[in-house]
């Protein structure tokens, strides 16, 4: 799931994206026929000169960049590299107006705000004009090489020194234990991502908009497995690794890049791991749950409402998609977090770019997975009494874990209601599980709505409108309500607007942008 203001750069379509609370996210436009992402990939591989420089690469001054600021002659700079994006105008899902915001200027910040995860180097490599002669704007410098385990480096927003996480370590003859003190409570869903490969330990702790990282080449050889134990209420994470040979270490290891740093998450590059497809379970006629196993030495707990990224090379172009994990089923116990496999419920689009590739994978095949990321937080739900979830199609995906958390982990929530809109009865995801949950827990209700119902359908019909929301939403006296919305962009924008008309404030809304 992604934090997406207006879109300004290549943005492959996705089933789930996240907009900031109360915002509707991307502004997708209807592309002309023959202008899909796959069409762009084919066009960029056609051998045509997309830069206008006949294959030359040049150094671009700031003055030169500023000259190319029109619809028919549009250059932009991303991280010091200049691209002629004129040929891409008609292929951009956000429309030319959004792309023009970066015309003739450094578009790095706009790009990072929207889709820093997109591999623009691969997407726009045939549009590369050259390198900027001088930097347009300062970037955050990498921390200097460290010879000791120094205090953490913090990049804006500035924090009180005592509030920054810290770490310590201890050992026995057979094991090494790294302890991270977050200095704040940690969500029960977890916030740590641990990778151990070829003697290099990488631990990232996600704390709101910030990220604390430990990155070391360990002092001696270790076994490949890692165990992680978290004391959520006191904010302590312990990573345990077994030594290959008994004995005492003089140090924990050699610091690597970004070791012991506390940075904004968006200032860190995405880190991908090769995961294995271990099972594929049919949900309905076009949707499956893909179970992905992390490599040995990796432990990742994706917090509720966060997303991961899948990356694949398709026709020599790296394509990335964000997807929100689900639990194996709606009845999954809270301790499911001990299972670090990823379960992704994904609809396969026959004319899509990414999902046909994913669906072609065989058990045992690998796919790159990055993240987790996303702005959603359980914090606003702490004193909520009534949780309303409005989902259209695969917009149900982020709601699945929210339902479980609301019923099992948040004591204040007295009622959780799901309004689930689909085209036809066969499209309803996990219907039997939702019906069982409704029958067995009086705190949960689900209402199904079909826009193209069959003759035998006796439930709600139509599309979301003011009357439907008034019937569904109920605000008892003394209650505190929260509403989450996810579905196609048009559905989300319309629903958020109707909710605001009914008096819901931005603090009471969260849009998972589809």
Which own/partner contact pairs does 243-248 have at CB distance under 8 Å and 24+ positions apart? 243/171, 243/173, 243/174, 243/175, 243/176, 244/220, 245/220, 245/221, 246/173, 246/174, 247/173, 247/220, 248/171, 248/173
Nearest to 264 by CA among 348, 354, 158, 132: 158
Rounded distance between C-alpha atoms, residue 484 and residue 295, angstroms: 33
How confident is the model at residue 145, as a pLDDT?
42
What average pLDDT does this structure show over 164-168? 93
Percent of the chain, pLDDT > 70?
85
Cβ density class 4-22: b for 16+ within 10 Å, e for less = bebbbbbbbbbbbbbbbbb
pLDDT in tens, 290-303: 999 999 999 888 88
Predicted confidence (pLDDT) at residue 153 exceeds the cutoff of 50: no
pLDDT in tens, 358-372: 999 999 999 999 988
Rounded distance between C-alpha atoms, residue 76 and residue 99, angstroms: 9
Does 3.40.50.80 match the CATH number of domain 379-513?
Answer: yes
How confident is the model at residue 3, as a pLDDT?
33
pLDDT in tens, 207-263: 888 889 999 999 999 998 899 988 888 889 999 999 999 999 999 999 999 999 999
Predicted confidence (pLDDT) at residue 162 exceeds the cutoff of 90: no
Right CATH for 153-267 from 1.20.58.710, 1.20.1300.10, 2.60.40.790, 3.40.50.1100: 2.60.40.790
How confident is the model at residue 4, as a pLDDT?
33
Tokens of 276: 């294995």
What is the SS3 assignment for 301?
A: coil
Rounded distance between C-alpha atoms, residue 135 and residue 80, angstroms: 6
How confident is the model at residue 29, as a pLDDT?
59
How confident is the model at residue 280, as a pLDDT?
96
Predicted confidence (pLDDT) at residue 488 exceeds the cutoff of 70: yes
Tokens of 20: 């900031």
Domain coordinates in residue numbering, the chain: 1-138, 153-267, 272-373, 379-513
Residue with tokens 């799901």: 418
Tokens of 98: 């959004």
Class (C level, CATH) for 1-138: alpha beta
Sheet holding 73-78, edge to edge: 58-60, 128-132, 81-84, 73-78, 69-70
Predicted confidence (pLDDT) at residue 116 exceeds the cutoff of 80: no
Predicted confidence (pLDDT) at residue 451 exceeds the cutoff of 90: yes
How confident is the model at residue 51, as a pLDDT?
85
Is the whole-model pTM more than 0.95?
no
Q: Which fold has domain 272-373?
A: Elongation Factor Tu (Ef-tu); domain 3 (2.40.30)
Please give the helix or strand (H or E) that residue 153 lies within, else none: strand 153-154
Predicted confidence (pLDDT) at residue 159 exceeds the cutoff of 80: no
How confident is the model at residue 190, as a pLDDT?
63
Q: CB–CB of 149/252 below 8 Å?
A: yes
Please give the helix or strand (H or E) that residue 161 lies within, else none: none
E strands, 352-489, where?
366-373, 386-392, 415-422, 444-450, 460-461, 481-487
Predicted confidence (pLDDT) at residue 200 exceeds the cutoff of 60: yes
């Amino acid at each position: 799931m992604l934090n997406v203001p207006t879109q300004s750069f290549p943005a492959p379509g996705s089933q789930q994206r996240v907009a900031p609370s109360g915002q509707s996210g991307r502004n997708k436009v209807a592309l002309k026929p023959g202008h899909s992402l796959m069409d762009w990939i084919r066009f960029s591989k056609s051998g045509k000169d997309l830069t206008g420089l006949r294959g030359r690469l040049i150094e671009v001054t700031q003055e030169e960049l500023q000259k190319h600021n029109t619809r028919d002659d549009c250059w932009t700079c991303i991280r010091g590299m200049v691209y002629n994006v004129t040929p891409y105008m008609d292929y951009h899902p956000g429309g030319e107006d959004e792309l023009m915001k970066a015309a003739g200027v450094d578009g790095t910040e706009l790009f990072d705000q929207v889709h820093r995860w997109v591999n623009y180097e691969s997407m726009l490599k045939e549009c590369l004009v050259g390198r900027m002669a001088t930097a347009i704007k300062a970037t955050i410098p990498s921390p200097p090489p460290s010879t000791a385990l120094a205090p953490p480096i913090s990049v804006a927003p500035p924090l009180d020194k005592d509030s920054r996480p810290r770490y310590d370590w201890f050992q026995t003859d057979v094991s090494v234990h790294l302890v991270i003190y977050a200095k704040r409570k940690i969500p029960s869903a977890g916030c740590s991502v641990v990778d151990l490969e070829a003697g290099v330990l990488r631990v990232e702790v996600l704390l709101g908009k910030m990220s604390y990282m430990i990155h070391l080449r360990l002092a001696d050889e270790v076994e490949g497995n890692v165990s992680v134990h978290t004391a959520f209420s006191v904010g302590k994470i312990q990573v345990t690794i077994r030594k290959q040979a008994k004995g005492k270490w003089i140090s924990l290891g050699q610091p690597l890049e970004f070791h012991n740093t506390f940075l904004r998450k968006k200032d860190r590059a995405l880190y991908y791991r090769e995961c294995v497809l271990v099972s594929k379970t049919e949900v309905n006629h076009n949707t499956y749950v893909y179970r992905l196993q992390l490599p040995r030495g990796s432990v990742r707990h994706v917090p509720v409402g966060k997303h991961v990224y899948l990356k694949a090379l398709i026709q020599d172009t790296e394509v990335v998609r964000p997807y929100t994990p689900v639990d194996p089923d709606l009845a999954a116990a809270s301790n499911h977090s001990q299972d670090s496999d990823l379960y992704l419920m994904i609809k396969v689009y026959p004319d899509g770019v990414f999902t046909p590739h994913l669906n072609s994978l065989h058990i045992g095949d690998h796919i790159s997975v990055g993240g987790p990321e996303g702005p959603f937080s359980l914090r606003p739900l702490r004193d909520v009494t009534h949780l309303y979830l409005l989902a259209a199609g695969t917009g149900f995906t982020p709601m699945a874990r929210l339902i479980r958390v609301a019923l099992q982990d948040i004591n204040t929530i007295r009622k959780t209601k799901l309004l689930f809109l689909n085209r036809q009865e066969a499209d309803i995801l996990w219907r039997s599980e939702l019906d069982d949950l409704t029958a067995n827990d009086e705190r949960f209700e689900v209402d199904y709505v079909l826009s193209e119902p069959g003759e035998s359908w006796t439930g709600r019909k139509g599309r979301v409108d003011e009357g439907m929301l008034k019937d569904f939403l109920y605000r008892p006296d003394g209650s505190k309500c929260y509403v989450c919305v996810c579905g196609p962009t048009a559905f989300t924008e319309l629903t958020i607007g109707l909710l605001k008309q009914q008096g819901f404030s931005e603090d009471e809304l969260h849009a998972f942008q589809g």
